[in-house]
Amino acid sequence: MTMRKEDILEILVDWNFWEREQDVGKKRPYWIKELESISKIGEIVTITGVRRCGKSTLLLQFCRELLKKGVDRGDILIVNLEDPRFRGISLELLNRVYEVYLEELNPSKKHYVILDEVQAVGGWEKFVRFLHENKKIHVFVTGSTSKLLESDYSSVITGRHIDLSIYPLSFNEYLDFKGLRVDSKLKIISKRHEVKRMFKEYVEFGGFPKVCLVENGNKKELLKTYFSDIITKDILLRHKLIEKEILEELAKYYLSNISSMCSFNKLKNIFGISLDTVGRFSGYLSSAYLLFFIKKFSYKVKEQILNPRKVYCMDTGLRNAVSFRFMQDLGRLYENAVAIELKRRNKDIYYWRDYQHREIDFVIKEGQAVNGLIQVCYNIEDDETKKREVRSLLKGMDEFKLNEGLVITEDYESEEEIKNNKIIYKPLWKWLLEQ
């Protein structure tokens, strides 16, 4: 049944700036600057990231900036495609929504169209291409899946889009949300104890914006809700799956074993499911941004494929809210926090392991060359642990012809020279604030 114009308008008014101000939340200046920069290119802008990381809020903030620059309120259309009042969301309904907007608001020729959680509409890419090519409209789409621009989607809008991946709050942003600015080394030193206290909260509860701002007693329940929404909305419903229990158990297994190597063959036996199912479900969890994998470094693609991958969660708080906890968790959580930050800094990362099982947590590749090695060690002050970690790091430095390596620690900070090689020790909280 076709939705009435009045019903469509009621929904649109609630999400747009036409008749009222919208709550745009606390600003994230870095991401607003990034969005403003890529929007000037004139292509379709796609914004992806884990559910509730702040994609919609970022676009509201971007729209507020447009209004400040003189853009008319009626020249901005925001459509939240997950609003439950949209009955039977489809490409036909999306076209109808746009027609109602044109009829009622009569926008200028170069208006802005924002489609939030666009993966809910089959065929959305054809509609977006039409707006971009035929009407020269500024188009922005968001989605909670990395598959947004793959396969059929990318073939329709290939070469016409610019992508932006959004992450939960960095530690710097987290401090800003908490009202603590540390924009200089002097401030970091003077506020050291307060920064370290908040760092513990950050590792425990993660960086989802709303979680950061609610009271501690509500954080865990909110994170559990996020986990449930990701499993249900971004995987089960999207891929039309019925194996909810198996999917949840696989997700919780991964989250309980962050910073560890995972073999699909091993998981096949643990859960009593096929290798294909393990691979598909793991891919779904990854495409929904719940977790991500990194491969073993090798110049041979076959070796990368055949070796186990290491698994990390996109947010340490999300992981802590739903997984089993172990004694070694702090070491794993520190490594996971480093992995997230390296992804946020857009680094191409791998782990490295030689035939003697000497391992380096993160190998950073730029182009065809390796330009950074990072070990993460929570308790570096234990002599045996330090020897083991440094031995592996030195071996990796020799392998990749580097003369400097970084060890990220709980609170130990120092530098040492070993056979003309420099080893830098830096606390995680301080390293996170460097960029």
Whole-number Å distance between alpha carbons of 253 and 258: 9
Look-up of token digits 């198996």:
246
Tokens 């009407």: give the residue.
135
Domain boundaries 169-327, corresponding CATH code: 1.10.10
pLDDT at 141: 94
Residue in 124, 15, 103 with CA at minimum distance from that of residue 63 = 15
Kindly tell me if the per-residue pLDDT of 249 is higher than 90. yes
Q: What is the chain's mean pLDDT, rounded? A: 92
Q: Residue 232: pLDDT band by 50, 70, 90 thresholds?
A: very high
Residue with tokens 């699909």, as numbered in its chain: 264
CATH 3.40.50.300 residue ranges of the chain are: 5-165
Pairing of strands 404-409, 369-376: parallel
Gap between the Cα atoms of 234 and 314, Å rounded: 15
The pLDDT value given to residue 358 = 92
Please give the CATH architecture assigned to the domain spanning 5-165.
Answer: 3-Layer(aba) Sandwich (3.40)
Query: Which range among 154-168, 201-215, 329-343 shows the weakest confidence by mean pLDDT?
Result: 154-168
Q: Residues spanned by CATH 1.10.10 within the chain? A: 169-327
Q: Are 142 and 51 in contact (CB under 8 A)?
A: no
Question: Distance between CA 223 and CA 290 in Å, rounded?
Answer: 12
Query: Are the beta carbons of 366 and 343 closer than 8 angstroms?
Result: no
Per-residue pLDDT for 160 more than 90?
no
User: Is residue 211 over pLDDT 90?
Assistant: yes
* pLDDT band at 149; cut points 50, 70, 90: low
Mean pLDDT confidence for 151-178: 83
pLDDT for 276 equals: 96
Q: How many CB atoms lie within 10 A of CB 331?
A: 17
pTM of the model: 0.94
> Is pLDDT of 122 > 90?
no
pLDDT band at 328 (very low <50, low <70, confident <90, very high): low
Count the Cβ atoms, other than its own, within 10 Å of residue 116.
Answer: 21
pLDDT surpassing 80 at residue 42: yes
Burial of 324 (0-12, 13-18, 19+ CB in 10 A): exposed
- The whole-number pLDDT of residue 335 equals 98
Residue 382 reports pLDDT greater than 90: no
pLDDT at 153 over 60: no
